[in-house]
Amino acid sequence: MYEIPTSGVPVKVWGADLDDPTLAQARNLAQLPFAHRHVALMPDAHVGYGMPIGGVLAALGQVIPHAVGLDIGCGVRAWSTGIAHREFASARDGILNDIQRSVPTGFEWHRSPQTDRTSLFDDVPGIAPLRAEVDKAVRQVGTLGGGNHFIELQVDPDDTVWAMVHSGSRNLGKQMAEHYDAVAKAENRASGSPVPPEWGLAHLAADSEAGREYLEVMGFCLRFARENRRLMAGAVRRAIERKFPGLEATGEVDVHHNYAAAEEHFGESVIVHRKGAVHAVGTVLVPGSMGTASYVCRGLANPESFESCSHGAGRAMGRKAAKRAFPREKVLADLRERNIRLFKAKKHDVAEEAPAAYKDIEDVMRHQRDLVEPLVRLRPIGVVKG
């Protein structure tokens, strides 16, 4: 870790080779009048909207929608199937095909409401912008989405197969993030906030009506995101059980990496914004990019990172640049060479998720040795993407 002095609080960086736009966003965060102690950048940090993805901000009495992110509650769920890879290998493709048919991906939703599979919608907060999305949300829950979201089958060093699901709050979270960012912008203009609007860091006082409302809506989106992963995990289990009856999953872990939470750090009550960062307490998950390793870890609760760690490998280049740099057929050939089966309905944009478009997960893990202790390294054998 190294420290960058600024005209505000310092920026502490775990990692190397951060680009200028990412560092510029971090310096903006450091100059916020309500930034507490320092800003932390995880080793997977890269430029985002307003705040770097892989950034951690402890704010005094304020919440920033774009420091949580558009995909509120995005996160990862993983578990061991208990099945030996040597037994699983011949069934792999059939199971992946079953998963792809069972879980809507990309922009697809379920054809009917999923209320019979979840009690999530029994207690939706009576907040108008949220209630307006419920009719759509009941069909979104239990769906994967696109981009870097995935369902992956993996193998640990003991030759046991694991499953991992990476997704969040789908369009519900995006709509809520954009609505409350617009509310924050209007309130900042009215109050004469010193935060320049071009920074993309419009903020709400946590104890204001709008701030309390956003935090309540964010809490529901976190519950939605966790339930979304749970339902998809159920579909994955059923696909595996059709080939391996009596499956007993063990070691299940679920973590968010886009959210804000009230916590105490360095003697102050603050709202910690983790945008593409994980609360590194207990067992945590650090997924790699498509085709590279993922890790199950023990969080070390390092106070200097506000008890945070990276949420994954982190992009090394943008999606358009990746599509220009990596021919689709080359990406697909690389996966075949690694014996990783990709199930993706439309492959025209597969280069966006090429492993080389991301940072090296092994480098990321080396840079955060004081943030997490690796427990299990998982190598991929198959992936479903939107």
Position 249 scores a pLDDT of 85
- What total number of domains does the chain contain? 1
Position 247 scores a pLDDT of 81
Q: What span, in angstroms and rounded, lies between the C-alpha atoms of 163 and 379?
A: 11
Q: What span, in angstroms and rounded, lies between the C-alpha atoms of 351 and 2?
A: 33
Write the CA distances from 303 to 122, 211, 227, integer angstroms: 38, 26, 30
CATH of the domain at 112: 3.90.1860.10
Q: How many CA atoms lie within 13 A of 128 on its CB side?
A: 3
Whole-structure pTM value: 0.96
Position 133 scores a pLDDT of 97
**3-state class of 149 per DSSP?**
coil
* Residue numbers of the domain that contains 66: 2-385
> What is the 8-class DSSP label of residue 200?
S
Spell out the per-residue pLDDT of the chain, length 386, in tens: 999 999 999 999 998 878 999 999 999 999 999 999 999 999 999 999 999 999 999 999 999 999 999 999 999 999 999 999 999 999 999 999 999 999 999 999 999 999 999 999 999 999 999 999 999 999 999 999 999 999 999 999 999 999 999 999 999 999 999 999 999 999 999 999 999 999 999 999 999 999 999 999 999 999 999 999 999 999 999 999 999 998 888 999 999 999 999 999 999 999 999 999 999 999 999 999 998 999 999 999 999 999 999 999 999 999 999 889 999 999 999 999 999 999 998 888 999 999 889 999 999 999 999 999 999 999 999 999 99
Sole residue written with tokens 């499956």: 247
Q: How many CB atoms lie under 10 A from the CB of residue 268?
A: 12
The residues assigned a catalytic role are 311
